[in-house]
Amino acid sequence: MKKKENLALHGGTPIRDSYLPYGKQWIDDEDIKAVIDVLKSDFITTGPTITQFEKAIAEFVEAKYAVAFSSGTAALHAACFAAGIKENDEVITTSMTFAASSNCILYVGGTPVFADIDPKTYNISPQSIKSHINEKTKAIITVDFTGQPAEYDEIKSLAKEHGIVVIDDAAHGLGATYKEKYIGSIGDMTIFSFHPVKHITTGEGGIITTNNEDYHEKLLLFRSHGITRDSLKLKDNQGPWYYEMQELGFNYRMTDIQAALGLSQLKKLNPFLKKRREYAKKYSEAFADMNAVITPYQQDAANSSWHLYIIRLKLEKLNADRTEIFKALQKENIGVNVHYIPVHLHPFYQQLGYKTGLCPNAERIYEEIITLPLFPKMSEQDQNDVIAGVKKVITYYATD
């Protein structure tokens, strides 16, 4: 088969007639009706639907509290505020993530410290975390990369030993479990994202779950300008109209419109998760015998929610680099992507003094990974096309 395949990159016929994105929302008539019902109601923002959505998410992940926000990034910012991170505090996180996971530390004046990743799971390495802990360390921000939970037993043990907070960036992790416990009830605070490519969507939006009442109160205050009307919390009380700004907060509130969509989407989460897991299994089985491809490793203790499916290229077995493979797959109308450029390699972070070579595992693996399409609305034929396209391209460039 090698060299006989007529790659679209070189003028051949592509596998697909139409472009398949790497991720996409699934909105149905029930979702649309839920939004319309709110639009016809008395509240379209800061109303009862937000409370209903928060309660439903908390119940799903088996946490005591949930606080909704306008985005996952806003939620991360709020978590850093609630954790008390301030100037000169250090927060250890992973560089193999979207920039928001560390930007939130900068928002409150803290300093991101990048631990390297485990070369098998691509998650933050507990051993690397341990090597970076010092008297300035205030928190650890884990990332459940691709939907696979981090190694929480070791991480929480380190945090307890040193009296530091664990914030779980679970933007990829809704529905994932670690030792049969839902992500969302393991860290001190857990952040979920509802961007359209995530497991469920509210358009934009995020939420924090926690079992800590103090964090819950701080999060509520922070998302609404730092203002409270609660008579029990007021420093003064000049009448029933009275309110106080007690912290420098932000307008990070979710709307009832978004919450209505989230509630409707949440009803479909388990079927969505089932499809993602089925598709991931099919990919891994299809690529198992390909010498130039490494399929995702999964811990025995974890059950991934499979936000992303990432293949890793054995470049020594290919007559091409990652860029050429990427372009060839795109020409086959397969919407591949790369997750992620390590955060410390971005120009902004380089200007702050972070250097190439800081996280060698993350840097090396970044050069070798490609994200394949994975979302519930994919058809069986869509996935067959992706498999055929990957085999076509990899076989074309394989050295043996």
For the annotated catalytic residues, the residue numbers are 198
The answer to whether 114 and 344 have CB atoms below 8 angstroms apart is yes
Question: Nearest Cα to 349, choosing from 148, 56, 114?
Answer: 114
Torsion of CA 72, 73, 78, 84, to 10 degrees: 130
* Residue 298 to residue 121: CA distance in whole angstroms: 7
CB 188 within 8 A of CB 212: yes
Token output for 373: 């399409």
In this structure, the chain runs to a length of 400
Query: In the β-sheet with 293-294, what is the strand arrangement from edge to edge?
Result: 293-294, 309-313, 369-372
Distance of CA 96 to the CA centre of its chain: 11
**Helix ranges (DSSP H) in the chain:** 29-39, 48-61, 72-82, 100-107, 126-132, 152-162, 213-222, 256-266, 269-287, 322-331, 347-351, 360-366, 380-397
Cα separation, 125 vs 115, in Å, equals: 7
Residue 42 neighbours by CB under 8 Å, 6+ apart: none
Q: What is the token pair recorded at 309?
A: 């499916």
